[in-house]
Amino acid sequence: GADRNLFKRIILESNGTEFFGYNAGSRLNFPQNAYPRITSGNWRRHGSISSNDICSFALEFEKVQSKRYGVFAEKGHSSFVHIKGNIPILAVACHATAHKREGKLKAQEFYTGAIGVILNSISGVHCLYTTYASEFDSNYCQQTELKEYIREVVKKHKIKFVLDIHGTGSYRKFDIYPGIGKAGEFLNGKNILMNNLERILHKNSIKLGGTDVFPAYRQHTVSRFVNSLLEIPAMQLEINQKYRDPQTDSLSFEKLTNTLADYLASVEKHI
C-alpha cells in the first residue's frame, strides 16, 4: 500500500522502541470517486492482528518483550505501555515482565501482555501492559505507578470494567481461574459477568476453576484496587500455561483469545 501511495508510513517511538504506524496516503486522501474518504487515524480494531495469524503476532511480540523481561526502565522512562481502545473496558497485564516482590525478582507470566494487545486489536478494549521489569509488584504492593496510571485511564476514558490478566502453571487442574473477591464483591452486584464467563468458557470447552483458588483479595491486587478505590467491577483472570503457548499449541492459544474476545463482548453489554 505504501508504494502505491495508499498509505504513508510513520515512525512512533515509546521508551526507546520504534514502531511503524500508517496514515492515509495521497490516493486515499484524494479519492477519484464518490466513496467516502478514509481519514488518518488508528485502524487498530479489526486490523492486521485480527485478520492474520494471531499466534505469529504473539510470538513476535513476546520475542521483543523477552529482551526486557528483567531489564528495568531508565530513569524518567515508563515501565508500561497503554494502548487506547474504543470501548469502556481495560485489560491489564502487570506481570508481562519480571517484577519485584519483597525484594525478590519474580519471573514474568508469558504471553499475558500479548493477550492484552490482541484483545485490544480484536475487541477494542484499552490495554495496559508492562514492557520493562517492575520495581514494585502492582498485584501485591498497595501503591505503584501503574496503579495510579490505571486510576487516570479509568477516569479519562470512563472505564466501566477492568480485566487483570495473569498466568498460572500448566500443573493446575483447570484452565482459567477467576478472582472476584472473597464473595464476588469485585463484580459490584453484576453477577451476570461471572455467569457469562462460565457460559462462554463451557461453550468453548475451556475448564473453569473455582473462585477460591486465586480470589484476588488477600493482597493489594489490581482487581481489589479497582473495585475498592475506583468503585467499578473488576476481575482477575489466571490462565493456565497450556493456553499461553502459541509456539507449541497454536490452536489452544487462538481458542483462548477468541473466547476472551467473546466474553468481553458480553461484558460490554452489561456494564
Q: pLDDT 10s digit of each residue in the chain, 271 long? A: 555 555 566 666 666 666 656 666 655 444 444 333 333 333 344 444 544 589 999 999 999 999 999 999 999 899 999 999 999 999 999 999 999 988 899 999 999 999 999 999 999 999 999 999 999 999 899 999 999 999 999 999 999 999 999 999 999 999 999 999 999 999 999 999 999 999 999 999 999 999 988 878 788 999 999 999 999 999 999 999 999 999 999 999 999 999 999 999 999 999 9
Q: Domain holding 74: CATH number? A: 3.40.630.40
- Residue 205 burial (C-beta neighbours within 10 Å; 0-12, 13-18, 19+): exposed
4 and 56 in a single domain? The answer is no
Nearest partner of 180 among 147, 151, 149, 222, judged by Cα = 222
69 and 36 in a single domain? The answer is no
Please give the tally of structural domains in the chain.
2
- Please name the residue ranges forming H helices in the chain: 26-29, 48-51, 54-66, 112-123, 145-157, 192-203, 222-229, 250-268
32 and 139 in a single domain? The answer is no
Residue whose entry in the numeric block shows the C-alpha cell 470512563 = 158
157 and 48 in a single domain? The answer is yes
3-state secondary structure at position 225: helix
23 and 137 in a single domain? The answer is no
Which residues is 178 bridged to in the sheet? 237
Residues 6+ apart with CB under 8 A from 32: none
9 and 126 in a single domain? The answer is no
19 and 116 in a single domain? The answer is no
242 and 213 in a single domain? The answer is yes
Would you say how long the chain is, in residues? Answer: 271
81 and 25 in a single domain? The answer is no
Q: Report pLDDT for 31.
A: 41
Give the burial string for 106-120 (b: 16+ CB within 10 Å, else e): eebbbbbbbbbbbbb
**145 CB neighbour count, 10 Å cutoff:** 14
Q: Helices 250-268 & 192-203, crossing angle to 10 degrees?
A: 150
228 and 122 in a single domain? The answer is yes
- Per the CB < 8 A criterion, the answer to whether 49 and 114 are in contact is no
136 and 118 in a single domain? The answer is yes
158 and 232 in a single domain? The answer is yes
- Per the CB < 8 A criterion, the answer to whether 165 and 117 are in contact is no
Domain span at residue 26 reads 1-41
Give the C-alpha distances (Å, rounded to integers) separating 63 from 35, 110, 173, 213, 258: 40, 11, 28, 31, 22
pTM higher than 0.85, yes or no? Answer: no
Task: Fill in the amino acid letter for 203.
Answer: K
